[in-house]
Structure 1
Amino acid sequence: MISRRSQGFTLVEMMVSVTILSLVMLATVTGLRTLASTQTSLNRVTDRNDEIRSVSSFLRDALESAVVGSSSGGLSVGGGSAEMTVFEASSTQLMWKTTMMFGERAGGSYVVRIAEERPNIVLRWQKMNVFGQVGDWNKASARTLVEDVQEFAVAYRRQVEGEWASQWDGRGPPGWVRLRIRAGERYWPDIVMEVAQ
């Protein structure tokens, strides 16, 4: 005689096993979605950190290689007798003369400007004309440094221990420049740079 147990599973046993299998599948799918969401967030944070690092590094290099005038005690244009200062600063832009390389063959002495051009922070550069003057910035070569900017502020101080000022007095270049940037609804760490003297 064949026992009832050897004939197969009951309907209740099948329903219990299908329910357990469904719960395992639900947990697996939820875990995979969480993993994908975490990976996306991690990529976004990594991209933001890379952007901060590259912009900060570029700006530090550009300010460290600022062209220093020999007779004016500050940044100046042309030879040693030139008195025209090329460092201009306000609370929303920074302009100075520096030596830069663009690619393998293009480079030299340029006047560069960092300014907020809503909604971005834009780097513009151009060479001075033979009279030591800067042309129209709207026609200058440009590259976007930071996109989706909600706040951009420049501050200055003469000494390491001094107070930060939002406007520079124009007496030569400051000792230090601080950039405060809020982009993508988040504040960047302040970028503090020493200016060549």
Structure 2
Amino acid sequence: MREQRGFTLVEVVVALTVMSLLVLATLTAVRTLGDTHARVEATTQRLDEMRLVSQFLRNSLRQAVPVRTQTRPGGYILGGRDELSWIAPLQGVEGVAGLQYKRLFLEGETLKIQFVPYHPALESPDWAVAKAHPLLDDVSEFNVAFRGKAQEPWLEQWDEQEALVPQVVKLQLRVRERYWPDLVVAPDLFQAAF
């Protein structure tokens, strides 16, 4: 009679341990790959949001039109530390196009923008009745600064007392506890100076 030989208990335990370690390593690698993909996706989404908002604001401020009004002979760009108003063209937001008064401001933790159609007889729009469009969420800081000439210091206020339109506008944003790069824009009419 031939002896039948099988695996010993120790061999079975060692084989199961090695196989368990291989399965655990594979599952850990798959989970790490999934987490990395989610982080890359979130970072990409944040960067896309930053790019789109920055591009929109840069284009709009660059196209600012120095429209003179009775109280603003130098042109309509107003603002303070956390608010900015200007006149620029707008292309097709909610069926509205053409020259618009625009107002950018922080309400709670949402950066919002308002549009009111420009009319030569309208000295200043009534922002209280204008619809506010959310532009960016989770904003903890929003600062605006102005520079009248190339070598002058940054000003936190630009109002009716200023004789001219600022040559440069700087926006600083802190979104989701991260600072965005400063958005520094010179309207087209002053680009040659910088």
**TM range, smaller chain:** 0.7 to 0.9
TM-score by length of 1: 0.84
Cα distance between partner residues in 2 of 1:134 and 1:156? 20
The residue number in structure 2 matching 1:2 is 2
Change (3 A) 1:147 1:130: same
Give the corresponding residue for 1:86.
76
Conserved 8 A contact 1:175-1:196: no
- Cα displacement string for residues 94-141 of structure 1 (whole angstroms, at most 9, x for unaligned residues): 101111111595311110010111111101111245632333213213
Amino acid at match of 2:83: Q
Query: Structure 1 residues 77 and 55 mapped into 2: Cα distance closer, same or farther (>3 Å)?
Result: farther
In the alignment, the residues of structure 2 paired with residue 196 and residue 132 of structure 1 have an alpha-carbon distance, to the nearest angstrom, of: 24
TM-score of the two chains, using structure 2 as the length reference? 0.86
Please list every run of 5 or more consecutive structure 2 residues that lacks an aligned counterpart in the other structure: 190-194
Aligned residues: 186
Q: Which runs of 5+ in 1 are unaligned?
A: 69-74
CA contact (8 A) 2:62 2:186 kept: yes
Which residue of structure 1 lines up, in the alignment, with residue 63 of structure 2? 65
C-alpha RMSD over aligned residues: 2.3
**Contact 2:138/2:176 (CA < 8 Å) preserved in 1?**
yes
What is aligned with 2:113? 123
Moved more, 40-49 or 166-175: 166-175
Alignment of 1:1-197 (within 5 A): 1-3=1-3, 7-68=5-66, 75-77=67-69, 83=73, 85-102=75-92, 106-128=96-118, 131-168=121-158, 170-197=162-189
**Shift, 1:165, TM fit:** 2.0
**d(CA) in 2 for partners of 1:134 and 1:127?**
11
